[in-house]
Amino acid sequence: MSSKYLIDAIRTSALQGLRRAYPEELCRFDSGVKARAPLGHVITVIKVAYEINEKILLPSAFYTLSCFSTSLIRDFDLPPPILAIHRRGKNELAMNLAVSISTILRYCSHAQQCKSPQGFLTDHANRILSHNNMEEVNPLEILMDIMRSFTTYDACDTHQRELNRALHWQREMIWESLPDAFGLGSWKTLREAADI
């Protein structure tokens, strides 16, 4: 990716591969997350994105970095500015996850008519969060895990639909907030900078 030799075709091809691996759309991120990239690769992508000024890669790369434990990341001796951005984003993501779960509980308004999922959701979320201990923050996967687990819960169809809609909406909200969570602006400003 170095600009030393400026071989445009190779650089363009490499950049397209990085944009597929670290996309700006949640649906593309979800479809590409079959196996998590090694930590060293993610850190290299972040450094390269800064080096070549392709900041559109950073939100999903920093998100992927936040899915690794802090103890593993410490072993890579990240530059202090990158480490500060990572910490800020990880804290924001943890708060966003808590807000998302709270919002989902409020959104499920059908609780009076059938068996309430609130106890189920609260117990499940607490189990995930306490097991995880927020060492690895992956709210998109946690919300998907709640969605998958809820399919085994004995609730009416209306409640199932409400919860699925709420979970999808919260995942979209978390994704849209990624750039801001890491102090990178918004997806719109990153897209505009990438188009220049």
Structural contact between residues 21 and 166, judged by C-beta atoms closer than 8 angstroms:
no
Q: Quick one: pLDDT band at residue 112, thresholds 50, 70, 90?
A: very low
How many angstroms separate the CA atoms of 159 and 105, rounded?
A: 11
pLDDT tens, residue by residue, 56-87: 999 999 999 988 888 888 888 888 999 999 99
In angstroms, the Cα distances linking 192 to 16, 51, 55, 67, 185 are 17, 18, 11, 27, 11
User: Following DSSP, what letter does each residue of 70-86 receive, concatenated?
Assistant: HHHHHTT---HHHHHHH
104: amino acid identity, one letter: I
The reported pTM is: 0.84
CB 161 within 8 A of CB 177: no
Model pLDDT for residues 137-196, shown as the tens digit of each residue? 788 888 888 777 776 666 677 777 777 888 899 999 999 999 999 999 999 999 998 876
| Core vs surface per residue 4-38: b (16+ CB within 10 A) or e | eeeeeeeeeeebeebbebbbbebeebeeebeeebe
